Amino acid sequence: MTEDRLHQITALEKKLGCDFNDKTLLDKALTHRSYANEKAALSIADNEKLEFLGDAVLQLIISDLLMKRFPDYTEGQLSKLRASIVNEQSLADLSRRYGIGDYLMLGKGEETSGGRNKPSLLADAFESVIAAMYLDRGFEYTRTILLELFAPFIEQANYDFTYYDFKTAVQEKSMLLFKTMPRYTLISETGPDHDKSFETGLFIGDRLIATGKGKSKKESEKQAARLAIEILGKHEESREGENKTD
């Protein structure tokens, strides 16, 4: 590794907040196959195997987190939630945040075709960096780093997924019990533009089932749907009890 390259690797380490014991691992993680192919005579290893390993490490860390956070979710729900967190877009976004594209070793063809900005290439590079971190510093260290890096994606995915899940569940119960779809009506909107609060009512027919509050319309609908699930569940149990008595 040249002195200039070592300076580059050290600069990226500081951005990532990770000090590698074996800096050649990070260098390898940033070496695209196009560069290795052009330098075939030098037998330079590319990052494809590291990409494979990094994907597996990341999937395990996020899967473990989701299973612990959502013990009642089905395998299908967990898979959808994980896919909304670990995908090309989120990986490419993280690569851009830390400027990983600037440190990639690319062949001339990839360089001229804008490879440093390609989402797929950036996502693959980030997975390779994960693998290098795992091999160099171990699983627990890597897990701590990744959970911090992915925290914004995890929180957003939790919100979007539960919002969808609660509303879907309310629709199913409403159709089952009342043969009609629920509707959401904004009851109030208060506060200044920079700090608004919303209250939404969930109606089935003309009957108000539940209300929800939040800092956005979506959040207030989500809250109303969550409360409605509990209320409709009790209604369903009561009706089943009456049927058994009859």
Taking only the tens place, the pLDDT of each residue in 41-51 is: 667 778 899 99
- What Å distances lie between residue 178 and 40, 90, 170, 181, 186, CA to CA? 69, 41, 11, 8, 22
**Region 1-9 average pLDDT:** 86
**Region 83-96 average pLDDT:** 89
When divided into structural domains, the chain yields a total of 2
Q: Clarify whether residues 8 and 130 are in a common domain.
A: yes
Q: Clarify whether residues 144 and 30 are in a common domain.
A: yes
**Region 199-218 average pLDDT:** 93
Domain boundaries, position 72 = 3-149
Q: Clarify whether residues 52 and 72 are in a common domain.
A: yes
Q: Clarify whether residues 81 and 134 are in a common domain.
A: yes
- On the question of pLDDT at 244 being above 60, the answer is no
3-state secondary structure of 27: helix
- The catalytic site residues sit at 55, 127
Residue 114 belongs to a domain? yes
Q: Clarify whether residues 23 and 145 are in a common domain.
A: yes
Q: In the chain, pLDDT over 70 holds for what percent of residues?
A: 91
Q: Clarify whether residues 143 and 39 are in a common domain.
A: yes
pLDDT the model gives residue 240:
61
pTM greater than 0.85: no
- 115-140 tens-digit pLDDT: 788 888 899 999 999 999 999 999 99
Q: Clarify whether residues 73 and 145 are in a common domain.
A: yes
- On the question of pLDDT at 85 being above 70, the answer is yes
Residue 228 token pair: 């409605």
